[in-house]
Chain A
Amino acid sequence: MRRVAVLGGGHSKFCFNSPKTSVEMLSEVAMDAIIESNLKPQDIQAINVGNVLGDFSEGQGMVQSFFANDIGCFNVPASRFEGACASGSLALRDAFIWVASGYYDIVMVGGVERATAMGTALATRTFAMFGDSRYEFPAGFTFPAAFALLAHLYADRYRIPLERLKEQMAAVSVQSHEYGMKNPNAQIHKLISKEDVLNSFMVTTPIQLQDACPFSDGAAAIILASEDVAKKLTDKPVYIKGIGQSSSGKLSSQYKFLPRLRARELASEQAYKMAGLTPNDIDVCELHDCFSIAAIIAAEGLGFFEFGKAGEAWEKGETRLGGKIPINISGGLKAKGHPIGATGISQAYELTRQLRGLMVDQGRQVDGARYGLMDTLGGDGVLVSIIFAAE
């Protein structure tokens, strides 16, 4: 298996009500990635795209072929990946395997979503399609509800008074908004306080509006290449050092592990093992904070904190710049935004820039970062972990 490097990337500003189509959003970031990689469209040998709900939001399926044509990647094989909010990460992991195997030398990976075009009611309905449609949706299942069920279960299992857990959850959102202020691509540029979180609209107990990421529009793209190609094109390659992916069934079927998500623990174990690293080696992490409680559960499942203790870590600042493990220094899904097909690619884009030391101007560089871990969750059934290395 060959080493695989990340070349350049492109990242749109995440937003509400994008005036651009999905094809346009994706084409723009893809061209940025090609230019930054010192390549031309005809150098791209294959394209993987994460896109989840184009069919519902724009009546546009098969966005991968249309955008490939728009950017002059004529007739290039282009594939769409669907794993709910982890779609981009599935596309990325698969592209890694193609390049590592030697089949392709240069593959572009992109992701795009235009979820806000659906409006909140249809968006809530379509997102709920990534829960079990027959055995769980009829009960009123939505994604906020899934994580609300996990939040109460978490409080019960770890014997944390709900009021304390709510404060810890609020600390997650407050931190994300603080770093989102420093990210020009973030959807939300607004500081919030613990009180703002605790006074916001109750979505589904105990999750309030400011515990939840927004619906988002946006796109991101990166280009992967074999090590020998990368060394000719860039003097700062970042390598993919470990990958992991795992799946699981409907939420209730995971009862032996909840509130832990076993698929995450398995996916990250694969990635750590492949990289020859442990959680202690990771310098910066982008994890899937679709809800504040989701971030807490993720940070524990990835091995950064003991079970039941991650909320305290956020309160103590251990997840900030200079802390034990800087997490979501991009603003996370909460403030940066969560255009679901693009989210995994956005995480990869962020980490490769952290590992290249390019975040100094934005005031959010993790000093000397060598290893970065990304974690993406799709529905309640897909987990992807990818480790990047600056060497």
Chain B
Amino acid sequence: MEYKLTFKDYSKALKKDKLMGLKCNDCGNVTCPPMMVCHACAGTNQEVIELAGTGKIVTFTTSYINSEGREGEIPITIVMVELDEGPWIMGNLIDIDPRTIGMDIIGKRVRLGHKVFPGDKYSAGDAARPVFSFAV
């Protein structure tokens, strides 16, 4: 059985600021990032959809360390965002000084954009990642 939405296609769409996921035609659940099966019912009757790309911050951290080769990106704020369609995804938060971020950003509404991680020698190519800014 083939994936309906592979990482390659997800990443390609994200490079155009489009967030793709899967909607289950059996239970209605939305799965994002994509999986082989529905995250809720494990069914395979899913269709590829574009999500709104909006949601709210549920948690965050500002990192002052990073992996080898990515030290230049620190400080970097990582967030998990609850999308309006339900699932959570991980990305970065921009448009704010990372050093000033505190608990009060939890619950703030954000809108998705993207940035490309060019990859390193272990990562088999580049990867678009969600980058969020505050929704107006």
A residues contacting B by CB (< 8 A) are 121-122, 124-125, 128-129, 133-142, 144-145, 148-153, 155-156, 162, 201-207, 249-253, 255
Q: Which residue of B61, B106, B127 has the most chain A CB atoms within 10 A of its CB atom?
A: B61
8 tightest CB-CB pairs across the interface, nearest first?
A148-B61, A138-B117, A125-B67, A121-B68, A138-B129, A204-B63, A255-B88, A153-B59
Instruction: State whether A135 touches B68 (Cβ < 8 A).
Output: no
Closest CB in chain A relative to B33 CB, distance in Å: 4
Contacts of A124 in B (CB 8 A): 65-68
Contact of B61 among A125, A129, A137, A145 (CB under 8 A): A145
Closest CB in chain A relative to B19 CB, distance in Å: 12
Q: Which residue of A121, A135, A136, A139 has the most chain B CB atoms within 10 A of its CB atom?
A: A139
Instruction: State whether B90 touches A136 (Cβ < 8 A).
Output: yes
Distance between Cα atoms of A287 and B129 in the complex (Å): 34
Contacts of A142 in B (CB 8 A): 63, 65-67
B41 contacts chain A at the CB level, 8 A cutoff = no
Instruction: State whether B103 touches A139 (Cβ < 8 A).
Output: no
Contacts of B60 in A (CB 8 A): 149, 152, 205
Chain A residue nearest to B65 in the complex (CB): A203
Contacts of A156 in B (CB 8 A): 58-59, 103, 106
Q: Which residue of B73, B80, B106, B117 has the most chain A CB atoms within 10 A of its CB atom?
A: B80
Instruction: State whether A149 touches B130 (Cβ < 8 A).
Output: no
Instruction: State whether B130 touches A204 (Cβ < 8 A).
Output: no
Instruction: State whether B103 touches A252 (Cβ < 8 A).
Output: no
Chain A residue nearest to B124 in the complex (CB): A133
Closest CB in chain B relative to A49 CB, distance in Å: 23
Contacts of A249 in B (CB 8 A): 35
Instruction: State whether A140 touches B78 (Cβ < 8 A).
Output: yes
Instruction: State whether B59 touches A205 (Cβ < 8 A).
Output: no
Contact of A144 among B63, B71, B80, B127 (CB under 8 A): B63
Instruction: State whether B123 touches A121 (Cβ < 8 A).
Output: no
Which of chain B's residues 75-129 have a Cβ closer than 8 Å to chain A?
76, 78, 80, 82, 87-92, 101-103, 106, 117, 120, 122-123, 127-129
Closest CB in chain B relative to A261 CB, distance in Å: 14
Contacts of B73 in A (CB 8 A): 140
B133 contacts chain A at the CB level, 8 A cutoff = no
- 0 or 1 for each of B11-26: is its CB under 8 Å from A? (1 = yes): 1000000000000000
On whether A152 and B59 interact (CB within 8 A), knowing A140-B76, A252-B80, the answer reads: yes
Instruction: State whether A133 touches B78 (Cβ < 8 A).
Output: no
